[in-house]
Amino acid sequence: MRQSMIDMVHQIQDEICEALRSIDGVEYRQDEWTREEGGGGRSRVFSGGEVFEKAGVNVSVVHGTLSPQAAQSMGGGHELQGKDLDFFATGISLVLHPHNPMAPTVHANYRYFERGEGKKDGSWWFGGGADLTPSYLFEDDAQHFHDVHKKACDLHAVADYSAFKKWCDEYFHIKHRGERRGLGGIFFDDLNGASKTECFEFVRDCARSFLPSYLPVLERRKDLPFTEQQKQWQQLRRGRYVEFNLVYDRGTKFGLTTNGRIESILMSLPLTSRWEYCHEVAEGSEEDLLLDVLREPRDWIIE
């Protein structure tokens, strides 16, 4: 399973980067890095292109011994499973930040984790998901993104779109703002309720769903006209993105507590963002409409 997951995340990284290169017209910067405690990764970042202000697609394959702090940052009660802190982890993580404020930021992450040899009950699991973070609300974009991921979930008995959608809304909650980071998607962790093969096949199908879930949305929005005021609003929304990733995100905390590569861990942050003191939006404005669904998540699947 370790090798199957390693092969899959590298293949998905290649496919996504090839698609982004053809869209953006620039080459990515690639950095292959190693971790003193064991393993390493391959980071690819696009910048300076016509479509993306910053886009990163990272793969990591790491192993070693967890500190109690790192084990606790994983959540899910795994820090309570005895003293076996040897681990193996691999996954793909990507964040794309377009220039155009009408085109949404998107994030996806899929990973596999083992404690010890991964043979005991509860000693292995999969996790991940994908979520959409627009600056302006286009309902058909949200519906398409969710529909693609629901179809991937519906193919597998181990998956539950409704539960994963709710989990996503709850996980990406910026508690100190009382709003979600975006319009959600799916999120799951501690996935081990079927065989390793069944769980892997679900995660693989989710990873393969990324491009068909996002590229049609990007094509519709990347060339739309926009104003300077709309660009400023995008910068404020990116500030919220930064707040979530640095304050709440478990993946960021885990990377920092396991001596991960800092540039790769913080790749998810936008190139630019903005904070204005006591910023307010006009009632009924396009910005206000977005805030409404960030405060009260909506179901996007049309039956």
Q: What is the 3-state secondary structure (H, E, C) of 235-303?
A: HHHHHHHHHHHHHCCHHHHHHHHCCCCHHHHHHHCCCCCCCCCCCCCCCCCHHHHHHHHHHCCCCCCCC
For residue range 95-105, list pLDDT tens digits in order: 999 999 999 99
In a domain, 83, yes or no: yes
Q: How many domains does the chain have?
A: 1
Q: In which domain, by residue range, is 116 found?
A: 2-295
Confidence of residue 26 (pLDDT cuts 50, 70, 90): very high
193 belongs to a structural domain = yes
Q: For position 181, which CATH number holds?
A: 3.40.1500.10
> Does the pLDDT value for residue 71 go beyond 80?
no
For the ranges 77-86, 115-124, 266-275, the one whose mean pLDDT is highest: 266-275
Q: Is the pLDDT of residue 197 over 90?
A: yes
Tell me, yes or no, whether 91 lies in a domain: yes
User: Is position 303 within any domain?
Assistant: no
Q: Is the pTM of this model over 0.85?
A: yes
Give the mean model confidence (pLDDT) for residues 32-49. Answer: 92
Residue 301 falls inside a structural domain? no
- Model confidence band, residue 80 (pLDDT cutoffs 50, 70, 90): very low
Asked whether the beta carbons of 52 and 214 are under 8 A apart, the reply is no
- pLDDT tops 70 at residue 297: yes
At residue 117 the predicted structure's pLDDT band, cuts being 50, 70 and 90, is confident
Residues designated as active site: 107
User: Whole-angstrom Cα distance, residue 139 to residue 136?
Assistant: 10
The answer to whether residue 143 scores a pLDDT higher than 70 is yes
Q: Say how far apart CA 81 and CA 17 lie, in whole Å.
A: 38
What are the CA-CA distances from residue 137 to residues 140, 143, 169, 293 (Å)? Answer: 9, 11, 16, 9
275 domain residue, yes or no: yes
Q: Alpha-carbon torsion 144, 146, 152, 154, what sign?
A: negative
pLDDT score, position 44 = 97
Q: What is the mean pLDDT of residues 68-80?
A: 57
What pLDDT does residue 69 have?
67
Contact 185, 132 (CB under 8 A): yes
In a domain, 284, yes or no: yes
In a domain? residue 163: yes
Lowest mean pLDDT among 11-25, 76-90, 213-227, 273-287: 76-90
The answer to whether the CB of 144 falls within 8 A of the CB of 216 is yes
Average pLDDT over the chain reads 93
DSSP, collapsed to helix, strand or coil, labels residue 107 as strand
Residue 185's DSSP bridge partners are 131
